[in-house]
Structure 1
């Protein structure tokens, strides 16, 4: 899997995302306990608090190191250990032993990334982060006679990464929730999202074992 080979993941992501972005990927040692990825684990699953806290510290350290490499490549003079996200040109995500940092080469008013390991998700989470209009559009986009519903687990996981990336791309996201952002065409792997007068462009790519979404803030609210 790419999780065991961050260099391959970095090369693949850089190729798929194109020259607009700088990408750095770091792997977390397999001996480190994995931090459970969101959406939240099923009820009844517990995690040892000290081990979980240690795993989170390790993920943060590895993630900030990846972010530092991106900042250096962009010529950004920032202390990434103290950098507050969201940031106009830098963003970070980590999941299941992999940390991904992405930077925008050109002028940017916000950028976001989300990485998720492919796994089963509960279809019931759709109402937690998708709007009623988005769920309606997904139903209308489902092929006639399709065996898989429009809100199947694989679709929901992709849309979760999109919403997370868009949320991170909004430097004014304080107090916001994922459902505040509306996807114009939720069935598409690339497109636009809006929040009030703000507009975001996003793209999702699929790699073996992972989904990655990157979003850019194109316009600010007047």
Structure 2
């Protein structure tokens, strides 16, 4: 499914419906963040393919701008919706593409490893090892990307609160599966180490988030930490 965005008139837009429109577009883009975004060209010609991140940031800015122009009564109605939309949009364009790349590479590695036998041609094994090495590189880039993203996190809501426990557990499950891969090679060992490092990191974030949620309910620190550790194991295992 390609997301088609028709050009609008240059006439001034009423702020309330415009704010709704931009939020709706952002919701749709967050739901299918990896599909190409195409702008039709009047009179035919080759459609323009937009840079995804730049386009999403454009719509985020316009949604906030139109919201700011709304009467106060409408701002009160739209405030929670705008916050949810911006959080999902930010997570989609920052984490979504990266985690999808990791997941796709891992699926390809699993497919190769299940089909390897004593009769597998050396060229196929070499191909798999190259994919493994590429994923090691991707994981290194993910950590760098993560540190920078958390440093410049643009929302008032903390990153892990916006991401939520379910997504953290899902990502943990992915990296934990990679860390448990039973294959002997130098590149596989590097991959397991990198994946285990990230899995441990995500688990710690999950525990911190779980503790924060209970702190908001006024629970004692000792009780929070005990439940967080037990709850993280349960939620992650259920994922």
On whether the aligned pair clears a TM of 0.5, the verdict is no
Give the structure with the larger strand fraction. 1
Q: TM-score range by the shorter chain?
A: under 0.3
Give the structure with the larger helix fraction. 2
Structure ID, larger Rg: 2
Higher RCO, Cα 8 Å, sep 6+: 1
TM-score (norm 1): 0.26
